[in-house]
Amino acid sequence: MKSIPQNLNLEATFDIEANSDEDSPVTFTMVANTGVPMQLRGFPDPVVVNMEGVIVANGGKIPALYLHDIGRIVGHINEVTVDNNITATGVISAKTKEADEVIHSSRNGFPWQATIGANIVPGHAKYIGKNETVTVNNKTFKGPIVVANKIHLREISFTPLGADGNTSVSISAKENNEPTLIGAYSMSFEKFVSDLGFKVDELNDNQRNSLQAKFDVEQQQIAAAADAALTDEEESELDIEASVKAQSEALAANTSRINSLQLLASDELYNTVEDLPGKLEAAIKDGIAPNEFELELRRAAKPQASNFAVHNKSVSLNNDAIEAAMLMDSGLVKEADIAAHYSADVREKVMNIASSKDYRGFGLHRLGHEVIQASGGYYPSGKYDNEFIRTFKAADQKIQAAGDFSTVNISGILSNLQNKMLLSSFTSNDQSLERISSRASAKDFKTMTSYRLTGMGEFTQVGAGGELKSVSLADDSYTNQLKTYGAKLGLNREDIINDDLGALMRGPQIIGRMSRMKLFRVAFKELLTLTSFFTSGNGNYQDGAATALQISSITSAKELGMKLKDKNGDPADVNFDTLLVGSANAVTAENIYAEKLVNETTTANKKSTANNPHVGKYTPVATPWLDSGNGVYADDGTTDLGSDDHWFLLSSDPVATVLQILYLNGQSNPTIELNETPPDVLGMQWTGYFDFGVAKQEYRGGIYSKGAA
């Protein structure tokens, strides 16, 4: 279909015959558009106006401008009559240089012309193709031609150019007995209502009261101006000019409002709205603001066909594919790592769909539209603003309230997406905790007690009668308790409007890393708080210069470990297999583990090699969390528990580890959940949280070496 502009200017010539009396008001009569085709600017084909569809703004009280510039007023129109022609009468009433120019040049014989500014009401323009005919204004025309079946007349402008030779304007000096400006505005309530496009007998009570109040105010203003005119002619002229200026400004604002309404109605995004012309006409008459009208159109627009390609009838598979596509589009996760999140039976299908052209570039905007459509709603594409955010949040809440989790829902997809990102960042290169701690599960936040049983007594020789002697059981108990650690993660309205998928993805990475850091900080604070656990009395502590990490100090630590006793007084028999060190001792620990010969001298430039009895025995595990200055402090918040010298000889046996890490229901990684936010919060918010507890367990499972005096 051919595109038809919405704005048109109907042109007419002026024939000015001004009175020689320079103080006399000047009136003009204009006959515009005789209902014949015109070649107008912006229209590739001639335009003919259907006279039955001409609507005059503000009841015919429209400004007369200079070259369509609202800041250059010439006068005003008193009355517009529409029959076979458009006839307007008015007054050159402004005291401006433009008004003076029109009057002065007309007296010198200049043939002023006029242009009527109008808008075609959307849906009321019809294109007549070549070789087609149409009857308008009781005349038949042959295409190509555009028929404007309904137009809004906004203003007229004086111009030196014209196009319609069949129209004219006559300008002359006003006789004293002709109607004044004030008189021209005097009218009955019925005429006032009619000029606004209503019928008195069709008004309801609210409309009648509203229009009557408006009419009364205008009549009072007219009466006041008339009184001024009777008492002081000069003051009357000033009142008239002020009144015209106020009217012009009001008309300009109303014209701008109408133009905005018409522009909205012409947007193809709303071509599915039922009775769009009627809605536009009502909005114009009722003084509806453009933003209110746009919201009405959005809500009334019918859903259009989605570009979303469904490749599998399993909606859960489509959700998986959306998640995978968004992860791939973020560029923050390797494709192999993305695939690893999905089970083997669907992995290939998920990745194939996610990498297809229909899913490529799947961002927040696309997801929002799919959620809106899944809820039975519609939102025009290309409109990404506050209302878009409100709409897709409401759509998601509607899906959740209905319990319809078999369809696309933003809460599930974004939460899953963020949890996958969180998990990838939660995994760390530092595996020290996994090596030196055991894992346990708790179902609530009550203090949990674990027990390690020890047999008291010993096997004795069975006598001739076959009688066995009784032994007893004793236990070592350890307590632990879950605590919750967490933070909030927000996605603001700017990120959503900008379709910033990176902002969505980076948040979980930050939360994942923060939760990992919190777990390590809590765990190493517990480990490095030596009081009553690593002590000489427990036989698992050594200090002094000789305990610096070297073959001899490892030997002494091993000896301490072998001397440890269980509760029955028997050897604890713990397998020490891990050498936990800080950054400064990392290379030394690796050399002791790997080299058969090591240099034991402290004298510069002199080697003193010795056999290494510990080669391959104690797996070196280096972590910066043992170092000084790495944020592990005592309860006072200032005492640094870290050191560049200390180290541990530990067991990785789960029944003998020095630390126990407790998780709620065995969930060993943090979780992100989408929070429900109020409708006026134009963003989204997630809560990241991690339930865990750390406590010392078996003191016989480790030897602490201070590494210094």
Pairwise CA distance, residues 331 & 695, whole Å = 39
**How high is the pLDDT of residue 253?**
72
pLDDT score recorded for residue 520: 94
Cβ atoms of 85 and 52 within 8 Å: the answer is no
How confident is the model at residue 164, as a pLDDT?
A: 47
**Which residues does residue 49 pair with via DSSP β-bridges, in sequence order?**
148
Q: Which residue has the higher pLDDT, 241 or 199?
A: 199
Select the more confidently predicted residue: 246 or 143.
143
Q: Is 125 helix (H, G, I), strand (E, B) or coil?
A: strand
Highest mean pLDDT among 127-131, 188-192, 552-556: 552-556
For the cut 60, the answer to whether the pLDDT of residue 176 exceeds it is no
The average confidence (pLDDT) of the chain is 74
Q: Among 332-341, 402-411, 457-466, 570-579, whose mean pLDDT is lowest?
A: 402-411
* Mean of pLDDT values over 176-194: 43
The answer on pLDDT for 408 being more than 80 is no
pLDDT at 211: 65
Give the start-to-end residue ranges of the domains of the chain: 7-178+232-297, 429-457+474-483+513-669+690-709
- Amino acid identity at 460: T
Q: Model confidence over 7-48: pLDDT tens digits?
A: 555 555 454 444 445 566 788 777 766 677 777 666 667 888
Mean pLDDT on 155-181: 49
Residues 123 and 163 sit within 8 Å (Cβ to Cβ): no
Q: Residue 626: its pLDDT value, please?
A: 96
Q: Which two tokens stand for residue 630?
A: 């790495």
Which percentage of the chain shows pLDDT scores above 70? Answer: 63
Question: Using one digit for the tens of pLDDT, what is the confidence trace for 498-543?
Answer: 655 555 666 677 777 888 889 999 999 999 999 899 999 999 999 9
Please tell me the predicted confidence (pLDDT) of residue 575: 94
pLDDT of residue 497: 62
**Mean pLDDT, residues 385-391:** 73
The angle formed by the CA atoms of residues 259, 262 and 263, to the nearest 5 degrees, is 85
pLDDT of residue 373: 75
Confidence of residue 101 (pLDDT cuts 50, 70, 90): confident
Supply the pLDDT for residue 676: 63
User: Is pLDDT at 171 greater than 70 in this prediction?
Assistant: no
Confidence of residue 104 (pLDDT cuts 50, 70, 90): confident
* Whether the predicted pLDDT of 219 surpasses 50: yes
- Is residue 351's pLDDT more than 80? yes
Chain-centroid distance of CA 599 in Å reads: 63
Q: Are 297 and 265 in contact (CB under 8 A)?
A: yes
pLDDT of residue 588 exceeding 60, the answer is: yes
Cβ atoms of 549 and 705 closer than 8 Å: yes
